Amino acid sequence: MPKIMRTVRFTEMANGTAEEYAFLQRHERAYIRELPARLIAALEQLDESLAGYPVSRLQHSLQSATRALVAGESEQLVVAALLHDIGDGLAPLSHSEMAAAILRPYVSDRIYWIIKHHGLFQQYYYAHHFGGDRHARRKYQSHPWYQDCVGFCENYDQNCFDPAYRSKPLSYFIPMLKRVFAKPLDGDRAATETP
Ligand SMILES: [Fe+2]
Ligand SMILES: [Fe+2]
């Protein structure tokens, strides 16, 4: 009777067999399917992150997603708004890129671009108070999604620190998050961005 494989035998990838890589691929697929649960746990951790603001990062994220929802944005954008600051804890100096990298296989190129650049675009609201250039985002002003990122920051980010705003709870967004992360996109990614 063949032995059940619990782990691969190789200690160097170069020595792995096709059977072992098929075994690992099954594990990896299952692990990817569990991504929504890990994202939800990471969002919950944002309730105890960066101090000093009138709302927690989780509340800020829920406010962002709720405002996008109320404005009639696509499900992808609402979920992107929910996750846009998920990199705050592990990538405090490059959080936009981290959130964008997580979203990239699951959202349109446009939404990926918006999230990737939101940190720089957001500097418009405060960089001048530190002697910085609040207009640094202008280097992208001829980009087709420039205004989309300006709008994201204006409507779903810089204004999402209001403790009186009635955001939807995290549980409201979980089915949306699971739908967006159900399957990576392929082919014409932009065409799959539907409300
Ligand atoms: Fe951010
Ligand atoms: Fe934010």
CATH no. for residue 134? 1.10.3210.10
Q: How far is the CA of 85 from the centre of ligand 2 (A)?
A: 5
Q: How far is the CA of 194 from the centre of ligand 1 (A)?
A: 24
Q: How far is the CA of 45 from the centre of ligand 2 (A)?
A: 15
Whether 121 is covered by a domain: the verdict is: yes
- 9 SS3 class: coil
Nearest-angstrom CA–CA distance, 191 and 35: 24
Whether 14 is covered by a domain: the verdict is: no
The predicted model scores a pTM of: 0.92
Whether 37 is covered by a domain: the verdict is: yes
Nearest-angstrom CA–CA distance, 65 and 10: 45
CB atoms within 10 A of CB 177: 23
**Rounded average pLDDT over 77-106:** 96
pLDDT tens digit string along 134-173? 999 999 999 999 999 999 999 999 999 999 999 999 999 9
Whether 107 is covered by a domain: the verdict is: yes
31 secondary structure, DSSP code: H
Give the range of the structural domain holding residue 67, as residue numbers without chain letter: 33-186
Q: How far is the CA of 34 from the centre of ligand 1 (A)?
A: 25
Whether 105 is covered by a domain: the verdict is: yes
Run of H or E residues at 24: helix 18-33
Q: Which residues surround ligand 2, an ion (CB under 5 A)?
A: 85, 157
Whether 16 is covered by a domain: the verdict is: no
Whether 28 is covered by a domain: the verdict is: no
Q: How far is the CA of 116 from the centre of ligand 1 (A)?
A: 9
Whether 177 is covered by a domain: the verdict is: yes
Torsion of CA 183, 187, 190, 192, to 10 degrees: -50
Give the count of domains, the chain.
1
Position 22 pLDDT exceeds 70 = yes
